[in-house]
Amino acid sequence: MLLRITEQAADQIRVSVEAGGMQGMALRIAARRCEDGSIDYAMGFDQASDNDTRSNQHGIEILIAPTSTELLSGAILDFDTPEDEDEPQFIFLNPNDPHFMPPAAPD
């Protein structure tokens, strides 16, 4: 699978769909390489185009344009609270990002 979303991310996406009145829209996820080699991400609700890679995960339709497929290959989209933050947020766990550090295994 190109990109996987967790159940927690899917739940939050559903909240965003309801809050924004975006029923029937798919979630487009995009990525681009920054000058320092890191990856910048964007998400928004959109209509599919012919060249998109599509998947349906946890009832969420995901769209990825061909320009983002290589950068998102093997990535995971999660929704969690990072160690040094107070509020949960979307988190991309992406082995293609040179700054990626796998999550620590629980003790």
Residue 103 belongs to some domain of the structure: no
Residue 43 belongs to some domain of the structure: yes
57-99 confidence digits (pLDDT tens): 999 999 999 999 999 999 999 999 887 888 999 999 999 998 8
Provide the residue range defining the domain that includes 50: 3-93
Residue 9 in this model has a pLDDT that exceeds 90? yes
- Report the predicted TM-score, pTM, of the whole model to 2 decimal places: 0.88
- Put the strands of the sheet holding 39-46 in their side by side order: 39-46, 26-33, 60-64, 53-57
Q: Could you give the CA distance from residue 77 to residue 19 in angstroms, rounded to a whole number?
A: 20
Higher pLDDT, 106 or 46: 46
Residue 39 in this model has a pLDDT that exceeds 70? yes
CATH for 19:
2.60.300.12
Give the total number of structural domains in the chain.
Answer: 1
Q: Could you give the CA distance from residue 100 to residue 4 in angstroms, rounded to a whole number?
A: 16
- Sorted by sequence, the CB contacts under 8 Å of residue 57 that are 6+ apart come out as 4, 5, 10
11-38 confidence digits (pLDDT tens): 999 999 999 998 989 999 999 999 999 9
